[in-house]
Amino acid sequence: MQKEIFQKLSDSIEVPRRGDIVEGLILAQEGVALFVDLGPGKVGIVYGEEYQRAKDIFKKIKIGDKISAKITETENEEGFIELSLKEAIEETSWRKIKELKEKGETIKVKILKVNKGGLISEILGIPAFLPTSQLSSENYPRVPKGDKSKILNKLQSFIDKEIAVKILDFDENASQVILTEHSEESENVQKILQSLEVGDVVEGVISGIVDFGAFVKFSPPQKENLTSSFPLLEGLVHISELDWQLIENPVQVVKVGEKVRAKVIDITQGRVSLSLKALKKDPWQELDYKPQDVIKGKVVKFNPFGAFIQVILSRQKGQNQPKIQGLIHISEFGSEKKMREMLLFEKEYNFQILSFQPQRHWMSLRLK
């Protein structure tokens, strides 16, 4: 009988374990130590490195407040249970962040800082980053020629403002949360996106140009499950999808307000990727070159590894020639200095083809 009573008493007493999250009342703060009442006969202490880590928390609490803490040591030499306030808050915060991500909930965050890549905030004390690419079409900074300093200036206008966001991803090990902006318009857009498919061809207008591509506002293709009253969508044409030629700046091939036809090549996390070149003839497939052929070309760009040569296909006036580029490697000259001495920018030369691979859009050359 005594054994059964002892067993029941033992079962009713919660034995503290390392890693447990516990709650208690703040008893006192003496010097660099905080004492916490954890229940009958149990007193916790926050001190040493854990005290220093929690300094910002101490500014918000007072004697008698209830707090959560994580047990780091069940009993030290003085009989106290060692605690960490910082670890408890972080663990609770990550648990909540996971829930927000799983449920797809919308929350509001205050923008604290910005950098060239986007906006910086925090959620429950955890650093959170909202990349520029994840801003809504209304808030995306449209800057002529994609000037990064001007983009940064536009982003700075968001500091101290609140933005509605959803959690796109997170990395607990790196202690960072990635956000995506959420708006009422995006709810309607998501419904429309469900009817859009990769391979659809759309018509739209260039709505903005940045250094890495161009935005296109377009109407989704008319389908049976869509009504005539739907919002315009916006997709991005990456610089590599603007044309078959190599492009330094999108303004070389498109301008704001220009009407275009584009093909949907990807739909990921509510973002539409488009291609203009997918609806154009691939000029590489119409060429019939072979190694040892001699062609004319001019230097259009120098790189440390070589020079890009624009092939001169025809001299017929008024003909809209495709811009095919080949590469002459630095090894053909021995050094970048010699290459620049032997090749002048925009001057025409005869080149011999070393390799021609139209499927890879690749042509290697040597100076004839």
Task: Please state, for a pLDDT cut of 70, what percent of the chain lies above it.
Answer: 86
Q: Identify the pLDDT of residue 354.
A: 94
Nearest partner of 46 among 17, 15, 67, 64, judged by Cα: 67
Q: What is 283-367's CATH number, 3.40.50.2020, 3.40.50.1000, 3.30.70.260, 2.40.50.140?
A: 2.40.50.140
Architecture of the domain delimited by 2-88: Beta Barrel (2.40)
CA distance 107 to 320: 52
The per-residue pLDDT for 180 is 87
How far, CA to CA in Å, does 263 sit from each of 80, 267, 282? Answer: 67, 11, 15
Q: Is the pLDDT of residue 8 over 60?
A: no
Q: Which single residue is written with the structure tokens 């050359």?
A: 365
Is residue 288 pLDDT above 80, yes or no? yes
pTM over 0.75: no
Tokens representing 113 are 């800082």
Q: Between β-strands 325-329 and 362-367, what pairing exists: parallel, antiparallel or unpaired?
A: parallel
Element (H, E) at 265: strand 259-268
Per-residue confidence (pLDDT) for residue 61, from 0 to 100 = 81
State the pLDDT at residue 186.
59
**Model confidence at 2: pLDDT above 60:** no
Domain boundaries along the sequence of the chain:
2-88, 104-181, 197-279, 283-367
Strand 162-171 versus strand 271-275 pairing type? unpaired
Percentage of the chain beyond pLDDT 90 is 32
Domain 2-88 and domain 104-181, same fold? Reply is yes
Min mean pLDDT across 1-5, 73-77, 260-264 is at 1-5
In CATH, which of 2.40.30.10, 3.40.630.10, 3.40.50.2300, 2.40.50.140 is domain 197-279? 2.40.50.140
Supply the CATH classification number for the domain 104-181. Answer: 2.40.50.140
> Given pLDDT bands bounded at 50, 70 and 90, which one contains residue 287?
confident
Give residue-wise pLDDT tens across range 310-344: 998 765 444 556 678 899 999 999 898 999 999 99
The CA distances from residue 151 to 148, 159, 237, in Å, are 5, 14, 19
Instruction: State yes or no: pLDDT of 151 exceeds 70.
Output: yes
CA distance 213 to 145: 10
Q: What is the pLDDT of residue 15?
A: 67
pLDDT interval class at 173 (50, 70, 90): confident
Each residue of 15-69: pLDDT tens digit?
678 888 888 898 888 888 889 998 887 899 988 888 888 877 777 888 888 888 8
Is the pLDDT assigned to residue 145 strictly greater than 60? no
Distance separating alpha carbons of residues 324 and 363, to the nearest angstrom: 9
